């Protein structure tokens, strides 16, 4: 039987895990008295990750559709991918080392949600490593006529998996983190 909380297959987190979500609906977050710089920053970082991931996917799509040739592709793809992956890795490291432990200490009921988010980080890291491997394969294939189309398809599949997992994770994390900061105040975790 599969894990209903597995990142690759879940449609969101349940209300028993995101127990503050109902009290603090997403549409009302910015109006709350405890919505401050840290909440805003957290959401901004998540939006940046979404934007950077989408930019990388557009570059791949442009290459696959012939809008970028094999000579120009690495010059656009490599810096965009490195920026995205570095940003993602750094964000997860600070969450795991600093913020998630603070949330756990703040309210023990949150432990299950943050265990889930940390498990997500491991799943995302595995998908990230697969994506990096397929990116290297794609770049190496540029010198082999005909191989680049197959390698681009393989990489696009891996990148799409990583993106889907990341988007699910970011939404679920927001459903835990922002309501917790609204409930307890940003100073308690900042």
Structural domains of the chain in order of their starting residue, each with its CATH number: 35-188 (1.20.120)
pLDDT digits (tens, 9 = 90+) for 49-80: 999 999 999 999 999 999 999 899 999 999 99
Reported as a pLDDT band with limits 50, 70 and 90, residue 1 is low
Residue 88 in contact with residue 171, Cβ under 8 Å? Answer: no
Q: In 62-76, which positions are buried (b, 16+ CB within 10 angstroms) versus exposed (e)?
A: bbbeeebeeeebeeb
- Dist. CA 10–CA 75, nearest whole Å: 36
pLDDT digits (tens, 9 = 90+) for 112-141: 999 999 999 999 999 999 999 999 999 999
Give the pLDDT score at 8. 87
- Dist. CA 118–CA 132, nearest whole Å: 21
User: How many other C-beta atoms lie within 10 A of the C-beta of residue 32?
Assistant: 15
């Amino acid at each position: 039987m599969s894990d209903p909380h597995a990142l690759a297959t879940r449609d969101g987190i349940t209300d028993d895990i995101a127990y503050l979500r109902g009290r603090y609906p997403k549409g009302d977050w910015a109006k709350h008295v405890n919505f401050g710089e840290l909440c805003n920053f957290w959401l901004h970082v998540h939006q940046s990750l979404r934007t950077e991931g989408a930019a990388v996917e557009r570059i791949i799509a442009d290459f696959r559709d012939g809008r970028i040739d094999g000579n120009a592709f690495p010059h656009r793809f490599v810096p965009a991918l490195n920026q995205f992956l570095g940003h993602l890795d750094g964000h997860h490291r600070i969450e795991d080392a600093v913020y998630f432990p603070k949330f756990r200490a703040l309210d023990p009921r949150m432990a299950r949600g943050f265990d889930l988010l940390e498990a997500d980080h491991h799943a995302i890291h595995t998908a990230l490593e697969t994506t990096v491997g397929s990116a290297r394969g794609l770049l190496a294939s540029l010198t082999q006529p005909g191989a680049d189309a197959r390698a681009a398809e393989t990489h696009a599949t891996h990148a799409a998996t990583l993106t889907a997992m990341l988007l699910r994770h970011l939404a679920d994390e927001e459903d835990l983190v922002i309501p917790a900061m609204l409930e307890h105040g940003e100073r308690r975790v900042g």
